[in-house]
Amino acid sequence: MLARRGIDEADVELVVGDMVDADAVAEAVDGCDATIHAAAAIGMTGHDGTSVLDVNTTGARTVVGAALAAGHDPVVHVSSVAVFVPPVEPVIGPESTLASPRTDYGRSKVVTEQELRARQDAGDPVTIVYPGGVIGADQPHLDATLEGLVAARTQGWPRTRGGVNLVDVQDLAAVLVACLTPGAGARRLLLGGHFLAWAELGALVDEITGVRAWRAPLPKPVLMGFAAALDGIRRIRPLTYPLTRDAAEIMTTMVATDDSVTLDSLGVTLRPVRDSLTETMRWLAEAGHLPAKSAGLLAPT
């Protein structure tokens, strides 16, 4: 991934460690000026079958605590717009009501959010960034957003209410870099990106690829029930299908985010969503995640 962007691996110091290992984290923050915490275990379980609630909250607590103890300014935590879903307000803002998720992963994000807000209230220089669904090329392991795109293109595009916020990984990177300014204090920055209803997104991807995906009629009650059943199965055996109860709720209740403060204060302009989706779908096909018949015009020749 570094080579694809013209970066020599020798110019980057890579250190393997575990975010719940206090000694490893303390060694990592030593000699640095700032920290970006972007690590999390996803899914139903974490290390050796332990709950991701324990892994993620302990990891964030360890990394942020060590960074602050080392005098880092700022300490940037990458959260998610999902901490505000289902939304109470018509547009999500940084002070919107926090969610009450059902899965351990969702709860881990909200518990960490509450702990970091307490840090902010105490005067610590913690910046929290809330990205939407991240798209772009070269994901080492597909996350829920790209898994969902692949599933929708190959197994049926959901015809349901709601929509999705999409942010280009390059825009997220630009925002995180722009956050690394000392003395800014505590900040909460929305970066949902472009909001598209499911029908709107489906039509755009059809146009980009030149291939129309089959539409799967999924009224909200049906989608929620199916997702809840999948969650139950996951507690017994692994499943590769990306839908969860929390994801279904996010899919059907998501609204747009107000990113204006983030973009204006940091001087970042979002890439056009068509360009981001084209690059993403082309890479998914090139990497073998998306079959040629679903990639259409973007399939490798």
- Sign of CA pseudo-dihedral 148, 154, 156, 157: positive
Q: Do β-strands 133-135 and 163-168 pair in parallel, antiparallel, or remain unpaired?
A: parallel
**Helix 52-69 × helix 104-121 angle, to 10°:** 20
Among 77, 72, 69, residue whose Cα is nearest residue 37: 77
Among 265, 281, 269, 137, residue whose Cα is nearest residue 194: 269
Give the pLDDT confidence score for residue 231 in this predicted structure. Answer: 80
Q: Which DSSP helix (H) or strand (E) runs through 169?
A: helix 169-179
Distance CA 276, CA 165 (A): 13
What letter represents residue 9's amino acid?
E
Q: How many CB atoms lie within 10 A of CB 219?
A: 12
Give the pLDDT confidence score for residue 46 in this predicted structure. Answer: 40
Strand ranges of the sheet holding 35-37, from the earlier edge strand across to the other edge? 35-37, 75-78, 126-131, 187-191
Q: Which domains does the chain have, with CATH numbers?
A: 3-298 (3.40.50.720)
Distance CA 255, CA 272 (A): 19
- DSSP for residue 10: G
Owner of token pair 């206090």: 22
**CA dist 232 to 66, 81, 145, 238, 256, Å?**
37, 25, 21, 11, 30
Q: What is the pLDDT along the chain (301 residues), one digit of tens a residue?
A: 888 888 999 999 888 899 999 999 999 999 999 999 999 987 643 444 568 899 999 999 999 999 999 999 999 999 999 999 989 999 999 999 998 887 788 889 999 999 999 999 999 999 999 999 999 999 988 988 999 899 999 988 988 889 999 999 999 999 999 999 999 999 999 999 999 999 999 999 999 999 999 998 888 888 888 888 888 887 788 776 667 777 788 888 999 999 999 999 999 999 999 999 999 999 999 999 999 999 999 999 8
Give the pLDDT confidence score for residue 98 in this predicted structure. Answer: 95
- Sign of CA pseudo-dihedral 79, 84, 90, 94: negative
pTM: 0.92
Give the pLDDT confidence score for residue 240 in this predicted structure. Answer: 67
What letter represents residue 153's amino acid?
R
